[in-house]
């Protein structure tokens, strides 16, 4: 029982689609964030479910760890091969298997990216709404329960995955869910797999809910004198029941970064970026009511982006915020944080975080999907300054602890991976052990993405 024996059998199964090259292994042992390089022993490129099942069966027989790999956009080291083994890269399983327009669903392979899916859907009048910013793979988005700018309207991956095909740790292939819009037939295994970060099985097919392209879309940006007013405007908007499609917050430091590095011309103040979806009359009404709320909160600089190209530019700027903000200090390390709190505690959470960052002297623009109570600080300590690095990590730690203290969660959308594992007990208490019991029941050898999610053996 050994990894080399597994690799030898996997070579026979996959031929040159099992790679042991250093470059491939290093690529699959790296993460967007600052984690130590942790390469797998080999990278497999299966082409279909049967190959994945055969691969897992071989690994199970030889006790070889298995880590899934989508587009590599994880921010918490989810796919680091901390115990070696095989990285299963779904690049060759990236097809749209079916679009059932009448049922508003698509059946896709896990390596397909969300942008590729939406490109294929363009002619159908349908789209897949979950938008984490990065062009992530849909399998990875399901595995991490991703969300992003549109979750306030359309929900996270949890709400948008109707069913899955999963290869379990012993090579069994199961199907979860059905094509019916709802079901009361048994445990919600789809929901259990979504967010399980590859620790319970490998997703080999997803049945996704689609949405109709809205008849009308309108976007806008507006400024606030301070963070508190912006956050209060968000709370009032949500509570008024205005069905926002997006409602994003960026702070003054982010606005300055957009001006400097993304060609924006924003006042250096906190801003909200919003989008409305609906019928022409519905969108107009929503926009008008939102405008009233903004005026009440002292908002200003209202700019509409009604033309598609203006909206595209607006959201491209938001999606590239990471790069614009990094350019504040090009040689800095970047620590991306991600917390989520109840809406009632959002102003408090953002303000305390901003004050804490300001006191540290480290740049740390704050932005987020505030309609969900979810926000990020991008901390930029000097890469060669051990004190700054330690200070930034302490700031990130206090953000997580603050979120828990305020009734929230240490991660709204980025997931646990390696980066948040040490908060699981604080967040879940005795329920964390229940996750471990489920893990051991479905993966008794601890082969599926070992070293993640549950308490170590």
Q: Of residues 357-376, which lie at the interface with a second copy (CB under 8 A)?
A: 372-374
Q: Which residues, in sequence order, are CB contacts of 404 under 8 Å at separation 6+?
A: 410, 423, 426, 427
CA distance 191 to 198: 13
Among 97, 179, 307, 316, binds a second copy (CB under 8 A): 179
Contact characters 137-166, a second copy, x per CB under 8 A: -------xxxx---x---xx-xx-------
CA distance 340 to 238: 16
CA distance 150 to 156: 8
Nearer to a second copy, 281 or 390 (CB): 281
Cβ atoms within 10 Å, residue 358: 11
Per CB under 8 A, which of residues 224..253 are in contact with a second copy? Answer: 235, 238-241
Contact characters 188-227, a second copy, x per CB under 8 A: xx-xx-xxx---x----------xx-xx------------
**Smallest distance, a second copy to C-beta of residue 287, A:** 12
Per CB under 8 A, which of residues 311..350 are in contact with a second copy? Answer: 340-344
Beta strand segments in 306-345, E: 335-336, 339-340
Please choose, from the candidates 201, 176, 200, 197, the residue with its C-alpha nearest in 3D space to the C-alpha of residue 187: 176
Nearer to a second copy, 145 or 271 (CB): 145
C-beta of residue 436 within 8 angstroms of C-beta of residue 454: yes
CA distance 317 to 182: 37
How close are the terminal C-alpha atoms of the chain, in Å? 19
DSSP state of 70: S
Among 37, 50, 174, 295, binds a second copy (CB under 8 A): 174
The sign of the torsion formed by the CA atoms of 287, 365, 369, 121 equals positive
Q: Which range, of 1-9, 60-68, 82-90, 275-283, touches a second copy by CB under 8 A?
A: 275-283
Count interface residues toward a second copy (CB under 8 A). 89
**Smallest distance, a second copy to C-beta of residue 366, A:** 17
Contact characters 435-454, a second copy, x per CB under 8 A: x-xx-xxx----------x-
Per CB under 8 A, which of residues 401..420 are in contact with a second copy? Answer: 403, 407-416, 420
| 291 lines the binding site for a second copy (CB under 8 A) | no
Per CB under 8 A, which of residues 55..114 are in contact with a second copy? Answer: 100, 102-105
CA distance 59 to 1: 10
């Amino acid at each position: 029982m050994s990894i080399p024996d597994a690799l030898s059998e996997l070579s026979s199964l996959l031929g040159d689609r099992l790679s042991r090259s250093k470059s491939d292994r290093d690529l699959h042992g790296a993460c967007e964030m600052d984690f130590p390089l942790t390469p797998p022993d080999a990278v497999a490129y299966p082409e279909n479910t049967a190959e994945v099942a055969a691969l897992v069966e071989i690994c199970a027989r030889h006790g070889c760890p298995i880590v899934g790999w989508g587009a590599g956009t994880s921010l918490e080291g989810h796919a680091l091969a901390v115990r070696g083994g095989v990285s299963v890269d779904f690049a060759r399983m990236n097809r749209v298997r079916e679009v059932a327009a009448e049922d508003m669903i698509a059946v896709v392979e896990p390596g397909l990216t969300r942008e590729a899916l939406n490109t294929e859907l363009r002619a159908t009048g349908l789209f897949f709404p979950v938008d984490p910013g990065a062009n992530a793979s849909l399998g990875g988005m399901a595995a991490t329960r991703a969300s992003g700018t549109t979750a306030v309207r359309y929900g996270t991956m949890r709400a948008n995955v109707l069913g899955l095909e999963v290869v379990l740790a012993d090579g069994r292939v199961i199907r979860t869910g059905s094509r019916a819009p709802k079901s009361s037939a048994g445990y919600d295994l789809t929901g259990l797999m979504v967010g399980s970060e590859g620790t319970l099985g490998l997703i080999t097919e997803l049945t996704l809910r689609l949405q109709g392209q809205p008849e009308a879309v309108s976007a806008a940006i507006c400024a606030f004198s301070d963070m508190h007013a912006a956050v209060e405007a968000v709370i009032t908007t949500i509570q008024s029941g205005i069905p926002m499609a997006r409602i994003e917050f960026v702070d003054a430091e982010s606005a300055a970064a957009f001006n400097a590095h993304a060609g924006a011309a924003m006042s250096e103040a906190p801003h909200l970026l919003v989008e409305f979806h609906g019928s022409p009359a519905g969108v107009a009404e929503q926009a008008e009511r939102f405008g009233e709320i903004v005026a009440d909160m002292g908002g200003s600089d209202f700019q509409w982006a009604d033309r598609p190209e203006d909206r595209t530019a607006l959201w491209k700027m938001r999606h590239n915020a990471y790069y614009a903000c990094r350019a504040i200090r090009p040689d800095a390390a970047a620590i991306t944080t991600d917390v989520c709190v109840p809406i009632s505690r959002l102003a408090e959470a953002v303000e305390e975080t901003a004050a804490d960052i300001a006191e540290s002297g480290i740049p740390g623009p704050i932005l987020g999907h505030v309609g969900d109570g979810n926000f990020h600080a991008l901390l930029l300590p000097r890469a060669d300054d051990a004190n700054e690095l330690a200070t930034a990590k302490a700031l990130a730690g206090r953000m997580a602890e603050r979120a828990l203290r305020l009734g929230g969660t240490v991660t709204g959308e980025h997931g646990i991976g390696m980066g948040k594992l040490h908060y699981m007990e604080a967040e879940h208490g005795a329920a964390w052990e229940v996750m471990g019991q489920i893990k051991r029941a479905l993966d008794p050898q601890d082969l599926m993405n070992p070293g993640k999610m549950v308490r170590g053996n």
